[in-house]
């Protein structure tokens, strides 16, 4: 919130307005109200955009979501996302005041880092031939709008991932696409004892039959090319969406 306030004079491009100001702190249903070109807008602040969904906020009562990183690929299109790490980078390139001089993880000792959607897509593009990248991008775009499916980036030390879940998966995102172009499915959370299911047994069996894969707790999805991989990913997404 402090960073947003410091950057406010430079956010006309992101807000799509020429005159704007913070009107009042409301907290419910969103954090504050901003007036942009005479129109009142409801603003919510989250460190990562996915926290908006995790905390059960109502998308119909929010106009602008301000975050440090946008990791929520399936955020409703009615919400305008302002990603402050991107704003900071833009201002630095434009030679404007350097707001953050030493960007670093808050807890560097903790495993993994959170990638933004833009970072994931950039790394995916770097890793693949252009034709394969465009095929996967089209699949991601169509899945983003698929009812019942949620997409968000995952945490990882070296490889950015985009993860897929639904109401059936109880807050977990068992299907993931790596920026390397590989995809995997995780049926159980093996980081807890006893192992916890990421989906019910019926859905697990449907996915295993669709893939013809061995009965492992998790595995990469075998495919000879990008077209075959996308076809298998579509089958899984359809099973999760039907749930």
The predicted pLDDT at position 230 comes to 98
Distance from first CA to last CA of the chain, Å, rounded? 38
Cβ neighbours, 10 Å, residue 26: 12
The predicted pLDDT at position 118 comes to 93
Q: CA-to-CA distance for 204 and 208, rounded, in angstroms? A: 6
The predicted pLDDT at position 109 comes to 57
The residue among 6, 3, 76, 74 whose CA lies nearest residue 45 is 3
Three-state secondary structure readout of the chain:
CHHHHHHHHHCHHHHCCCCEEEEEECCCCCCEEEEECCEEEEEEEEEECHHHHHCCCCHHHCCEEEEEECCECCCCCCCEEEEHHHHHHHHHHCCCCCCCCCCCCCCCCCCCEECCHHHHHHHHHHHCCHHHHHHHHHHHHHHHCCCCEEEEECEECCCCEEEEEEHHHCCCCCEEEECCCCEEEECEECCCCCCEECCCHHHHHHHHHHHCCCCCCEEECCCCCHHHHHHHHHHHHHHHHHC
Whether pTM exceeds 0.75: yes
The predicted pLDDT at position 78 comes to 95
Note down pLDDT in tens along the chain; length 243 residues: 999 999 999 999 999 999 999 999 998 889 999 999 999 999 999 999 999 988 889 999 999 999 999 999 999 999 999 999 999 989 989 988 778 877 776 666 555 678 899 999 999 999 999 999 999 999 999 999 899 999 999 876 678 999 999 988 878 999 999 999 999 999 999 888 899 999 999 999 999 999 998 789 999 999 999 999 999 999 999 999 975
The predicted pLDDT at position 176 comes to 96
Domain ranges within the chain, ordered by starting residue: 2-93, 113-242
The predicted pLDDT at position 204 comes to 94
The predicted pLDDT at position 69 comes to 93
The predicted pLDDT at position 105 comes to 67
The predicted pLDDT at position 155 comes to 74
């Amino acid at each position: 919130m402090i960073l947003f306030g410091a950057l406010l004079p430079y956010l006309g491009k992101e807000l799509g307005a020429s005159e704007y100001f913070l009107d009042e702190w409301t907290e419910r249903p969103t954090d504050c109200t901003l007036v942009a070109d005479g129109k009142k807008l409801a603003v919510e602040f989250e460190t990562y955009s996915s926290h908006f969904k995790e905390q059960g906020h109502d998308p119909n009562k929010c106009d602008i979501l301000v975050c440090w990183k946008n990791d929520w690929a399936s955020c409703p299109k009615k919400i305008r996302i302002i990603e402050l790490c991107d704003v900071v980078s833009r201002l630095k390139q434009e030679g404007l005041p350097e707001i953050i001089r030493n960007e670093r993880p808050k807890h560097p000792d903790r495993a993994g880092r959170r990638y933004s959607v833009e970072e994931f897509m950039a790394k995916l593009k770097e890793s693949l031939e252009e034709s394969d990248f465009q095929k996967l991008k089209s699949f991601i775009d169509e899945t983003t709008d698929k009812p019942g499916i949620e997409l968000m980036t995952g945490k990882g030390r070296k490889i950015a991932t985009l993860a897929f879940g639904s109401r059936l998966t109880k807050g977990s995102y068992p299907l993931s696409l790596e920026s390397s172009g590989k995809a995997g499915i995780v049926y159980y959370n093996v980081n807890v004892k006893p192992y916890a299911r990421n989906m019910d047994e019926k859905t697990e069996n449907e996915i295993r039959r669709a893939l013809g894969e061995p009965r492992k707790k998790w595995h990469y999805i075998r495919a000879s090319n990008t077209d075959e991989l996308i076809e298998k990913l579509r089958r899984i997404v359809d099973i999760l969406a039907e749930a």
